[in-house]
């Protein structure tokens, strides 16, 4: 299934996308795409419903595809070629950092360029959405704890990330730096999350092309690994790293985002996003 949330920010309603591309209202079935609604049992109940029996809606804004996210966990340098383009050695264990949940926005919402930004950058990533509590989970059981997958743009400010002291979080957490969606695609529709093509364009110029087959640490490993350090809860998101082609890696001179540009990005089977960049609001 492809689940989504639509409506004004903070007042989104749950829905699903049917096989004909029509949006069907789920607000009479679940309160939101969050919490218990992400469990296998709840997803099975939704899947058992004939979509044609649900009211068709014409969405305006598409919101973040999941609500109630308590942790937005990111994996750094998880593609060998991306690590090399940044001048870093590929890691021997996953590099983990947190992105503020206040950065989460819808897939087509505007992205703010921070007021003092000089190195704003893009990163298309596969997102894992947790559906069942995971603590000390083995790799063999890891996917049992996954509700599904989504597109993530891990927008970053490289100067904040690497030149301002501290850890990466401050370069990753500005408001609007976490577009997710458009859909939460349930795991049954993605039989092999390590075989998905990713892409990202800026102003119509292809900047990133990759495949999740090149991830250093795959989905199963990441869910298991992270669960050794913190309990994963329904609605938590893991952004699994980006392929090469980020702005900071462009030769001979890096290229960074400024207000007035357009990013478009997508992943096979998970849909696409489009964001215009704007100056930061108050």
Please answer whether residues 216 and 76 qualify as being in contact, where contact means their C-beta atoms are separated by less than 8 angstroms: no
Residue appearing with tokens 């897939």:
107
Determine, yes or no, domain membership for 66: no
Same domain assignment for residues 204 and 108: yes
181 and 223 share one domain: yes
Residue 142 lies inside a defined structural domain of this protein: yes
* Residue 257 in domain: yes
Mean pLDDT, rounded, for 250-264? 97
Question: What confidence tens digit (pLDDT) does each residue in 118-167 have?
Answer: 999 999 999 999 999 999 999 999 999 999 999 999 999 999 999 998 78
- In this structure, the answer to whether residues 26 and 124 fall within a common structural domain is no
Reported for 28-36, long-range contacts at CB under 8 A and 24+ positions apart, including other chains, are 28/54, 29/54, 32/5, 32/67, 32/68, 33/3, 33/4, 33/5, 33/65, 33/66, 33/67, 33/184, 34/66, 34/67, 34/68, 34/234, 34/235, 35/68, 35/234, 35/235, 36/234
Residue 13 sits in the same domain as residue 135 = no
Same domain, 166 and 43: no
- Statement to judge: residues 49 and 82 lie in one domain: no
Q: How many domains are contained in the chain?
A: 2
User: CA–CA separation, 107 vs 153, rounded Å?
Assistant: 8
- Is the same domain home to 100 and 150? yes
The reply to whether 32 falls in a domain is yes
Strands (E), the chain: 2-6, 13-17, 23-25, 56-57, 72-76, 95-98, 104-105, 111-113, 120-121, 124-130, 146-153, 156-157, 178-179, 184-186, 197-202, 205-211, 237-239, 262-267, 271-279
The verdict on residue 67 lying in a domain is no
Please check whether residue 47 is in contact with residue 36, taking contact to mean a CB–CB distance below 8 angstroms. no
| Residue 129 in domain | yes
Does 51 share its domain with 126?
no
Domain range enclosing 82: 72-279
- Asked whether residue 235 falls in the same domain as residue 260, the answer is yes
Distance between CA atoms of residues 229 and 11, nearest Å: 33
The closest of 258, 242, 99 to 177, measured between CA atoms, is 99
Predicted confidence band of residue 111 (pLDDT cuts 50, 70, 90): very high
245 with 209: CB under 8 angstroms?
A: yes
The CATH number that applies at residue 159 is 3.90.850.10
**219 and 150 in contact (C-beta within 8 Å)?**
no
Q: How much is the average pLDDT of 201-220?
A: 97
Residues 152 and 231 in one domain: yes
Both 48 and 149 in one domain: the answer is no
How does residue 242 score in pLDDT terms, banded at 50, 70 and 90?
very high
Q: Is residue 228 part of a domain?
A: yes
**How far apart are alpha carbons 217 and 239 in whole angstroms?**
12
Do residue 26 and residue 97 come from a single domain?
A: no
> Is residue 82 within 8 Å of residue 243, measured between CB atoms?
yes
Q: Is residue 250 part of a domain?
A: yes
Say yes or no to pLDDT of 89 above 90.
no
């Amino acid at each position: 299934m492809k689940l989504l949330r639509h409506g004004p920010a903070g007042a989104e309603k749950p829905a699903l996308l049917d096989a004909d591309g029509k949006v069907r209202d789920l607000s009479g079935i679940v309160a939101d795409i969050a919490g218990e609604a992400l469990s296998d049992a709840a997803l099975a109940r939704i899947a058992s419903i004939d979509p044609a029996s649900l009211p068709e809606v014409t969405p305006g804004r598409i919101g973040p595809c999941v609500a109630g996210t308590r942790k937005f966990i990111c994996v750094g340098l998880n593609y060998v070629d991306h690590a090399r383009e940044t001048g870093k050695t590929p890691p021997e264990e996953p590099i983990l950092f947190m992105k503020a949940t206040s950065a989460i926005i819808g897939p087509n919402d505007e992205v703010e360029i921070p007021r003092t930004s000089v190195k704003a950058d893009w990163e298309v990533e596969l997102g894992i959405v947790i559906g069942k509590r995971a603590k000390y989970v083995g790799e063999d059981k890891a996917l049992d704890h996954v509700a599904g997958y989504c597109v993530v743009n891990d927008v970053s400010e490289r100067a904040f990330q690497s030149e301002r002291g501290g850890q990466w979080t401050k370069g990753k957490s500005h408001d609007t730096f976490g577009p997710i969606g458009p859909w939460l695609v349930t795991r049954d529709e993605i039989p092999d999350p390590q075989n998905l093509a990713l892409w990202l364009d800026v102003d119509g110029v292809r900047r990133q092309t990759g495949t999740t087959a090149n991830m250093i640490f795959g989905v199963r490993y990441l869910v298991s690994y992270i669960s050794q350090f913190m309990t994963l809860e329904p609605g938590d998101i893991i952004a699994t790293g980006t392929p090469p082609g980020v702005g900071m890696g462009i030769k001979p001179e890096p290229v960074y985002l400024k207000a007035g540009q357009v990013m478009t990005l997508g992943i096979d089977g998970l849909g696409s996003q489009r964001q215009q960049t704007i100056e930061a609001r108050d």
